[in-house]
Amino acid sequence: MNLKNTAIKKMGTIRQMDLVEKVKSYDPHVDEDALNRAYIFAMQAHGTQTRASGDPYFSHPVEVAYFLTSLKLDTATIITALLHDTVEDTEATLDQIEALFGKEVRGLVDGVTKLNRLEIKSEGSKQAENFRKLVVAMSEDLRVLLVKLADRLHNMKTLHYIKSEDKRKRIAKETIEIYAPLAERIGMRQMKEDLQDLSFAQMYPEARESIVKRLDFLRRQGKAQVEKILSRLSELMEEAGVEPILLDGREKKPYSIWKKMESKNVPFEQLSDIIAFRILVHTIPECYQALGAVHAAFHTIPGRFKDYISTPKNNGYQSIHTSVIGPGQQRIEVQIRTQEMHDIAEYGVAAHWSYKQRRDFQIDGKQFRWVRELLEILERSDDPEEFLENTKLEMYHDQVFCFTPKGDIIVLPRSATPVDFAFAVHSGVGSCCVGAKVNGRIVPLKTQLKNGDQVDIITSKSQTPSPAWERFVVTGKARSEIRKYIRTQQRDEYITLGRAILSRTFKQEGKDYSDKMLEAILSSIKRREIDDVLADVGEGTLGRNQVFEAVFGNVLDAASKKKPTNIVSKTRKLDIDKVSNALPIRGLIPGMAIHFAGCCHPIPGDGIVGIVTTGKGITIHTMECETLENFSDAPERWIEVSWESAGGSDPRYVGRLKTTLSHETAALATLANVISREGGNINNLRIANRSSDFFDLLVDIEVRDARHLQNIIAGLRSKDVVQAVERYNG
């Protein structure tokens, strides 16, 4: 026991009995014996280990455990906090922990141990791969994440003891990009803000110091004004017959202020909502009663009212937010909620333990939609870094609330589109999306949705995700689904190409080819299935010679070996030619035939749309084409497409002009000369109408794009013999 007394003396903080008493204060049925054994086990396991600060290492798990008692967490979680570093940093084993504390604690410690490797040890894929482990672990039991967040919070509070500035900044960056958003997602506002502010101090110390000084000045100067506002709000509540539990003003954190200054590009002095006033009441009806009193007394600021009680956030947050012109013509933000809502707003998922007698609360992370969506992204993402990128998209955003036609709420990031909405409803709906109605009107798929929009997704069984969607979707789920489809399509093309290469190779050597022949060589060429072989041959990462020799046990004949890549090269060349001659249009369905509409002659630079035409594939029209009216009742046939760079090539497209020429000598020659001088080429010419003084021509001209055609039009209009000229759709 000497070790115990020495450690506690050096720490000068939390004693064993203090920790146990704290847990007993909110859980009278606590297993005191298990807590005491865990305290001693961890202290002895860590022994003489020290932290960068010079304190005994055991001070860290005790601080983590004590913090979690403030969230009133169960005994198993507190024990896990005490033991969370023992398997990673000492000779203790999971079997020992299970023998002493049971399977539940073993599972939690194992989960946190895996997450301990999340600290940045190298950039890139290693961090991303470890983050995958975090998602899986927290989906099984959210208490793992709570312990890890408390662990990170204490580490951030002592981060200044680490000598390497680069390491401090890497850890701070990881904290602000991963852990703070996770804390927000489980509703732990206080935890999120503390993690952000501690990271802010490491990443931008001068900016934070400047804001802190301004806040100190504002606090001194504005104290009387804050008290005046609180007094007026108290009077309003009394007049309305509402007895508030609490009425106070909360100053925003330096990081939150800095982010608002950055996003709005305004100086500190122009921010009007540095202090938010909060009214806590007993019941939900009193929330609206208090709101009515505030709105009756002050002018409201349009667009600044949000009712998160009737429409809670994804993380369970509920409150009423409103901004008004308060006393002294000052803009103030007022938040109104019940005590239970406040506890959940501050402590999120952890607060549910305090209300567990009244709630059917589970520790399984899969009960949360956002956790399930992260798991879905994990299943669709082969690349760990892509998974991390898409996950950050899911965690970083303001929210808009939209509705299905049945009235179900779909919560999306700001700037989300109907495609994001479709994938949020269901992956199958997103994949088959061909159009959307917002508030009863058909809109482009890249339209940004607003709060309160009712969205009706139009689907077609023949539709597939368009690669063009990736340019405007903002949710990780939508992006991962689109990328998965693109990868699948690309793989299918490689498989087809690989089969053609092998078939031709075998035929040249006098052998018949079949896919079944590849089954016997899978292990020797280290592939799992036949399609892997075909895809790698098509992609060029596996040689056709290698496959042939593996199948027949001999090499190709001498003639073939002199130029072993002829077949692949020719096939590759054909493939490359096909790509280089492909139409420079984004959003096409791979493999489907395409042609330009003869009614409007679209050329690069025109706004275009694709129409699925039976037996013809996709027909490209200009947005202004009158023919599109014929398809207004068939939105499932519309495909959103756009031009892209031709990549250095000089393809030609046919644009049609209608021109009126004076009936005089050399008029036609003048027209031809202008077109030639501007670099165009007449493809076809037809006289549409003739009179004694004028004649109308329809001229098809080969041009590079819409600007090129416009230059030709400008050149023609400068000639006296040209009475009129315009683009012609018909």
Give catalytic residue positions.
Answer: 88-89
Please tell me the distance from the alpha carbon of residue 283 to that of residue 305, in angstroms, as a whole number: 20
Please tell me the distance from the alpha carbon of residue 136 to that of residue 374, in angstroms, as a whole number: 9
- Number of H helices and number of E strands within the chain? 28, 21
> What is the DSSP pairing of strand 246-251 with strand 617-622?
unpaired
Please tell me the distance from the alpha carbon of residue 702 to that of residue 719, in angstroms, as a whole number: 21
Please tell me the distance from the alpha carbon of residue 2 to that of residue 40, in angstroms, as a whole number: 12
Burial of 678 (0-12, 13-18, 19+ CB in 10 A): middle
DSSP 236-248: HHHHHT---SEEE
Residue whose tokens read 């409007």: 600
Tokens of 228: 């005046």
Please tell me the distance from the alpha carbon of residue 395 to that of residue 375, in angstroms, as a whole number: 13
Q: Furthest-apart CA pair in the chain: how many Å?
A: 119
Do 421 and 449 contact (CB within 8 A), yes or no? yes
**Which residue blocks in 204-299 are alpha helix, DSSP H?**
205-240, 254-264, 284-297
- φ and ψ at residue 406, rounded to 5 degrees: -85, -5
Residue whose tokens read 């086990």: 41
Do 413 and 397 contact (CB within 8 A), yes or no? yes
- φ and ψ at residue 306, rounded to 5 degrees: -135, 125
Please tell me the distance from the alpha carbon of residue 376 to that of residue 391, in angstroms, as a whole number: 10
Tokens of 504: 């031709």
Cα–chain center distance at 7: 46
Please tell me the distance from the alpha carbon of residue 625 to that of residue 608, in angstroms, as a whole number: 9
The β-bridge partners of 212 are none
| 256, 385, 406, 485, 529 from 489: Cα distances, Å | 44, 21, 34, 6, 18
Strand order across the beta sheet in which 594-596 lies: 594-596, 617-622, 608-613, 638-639
Please tell me the distance from the alpha carbon of residue 58 to that of residue 69, in angstroms, as a whole number: 17
Burial of 398 (0-12, 13-18, 19+ CB in 10 A): exposed
First to last CA, the chain: 96
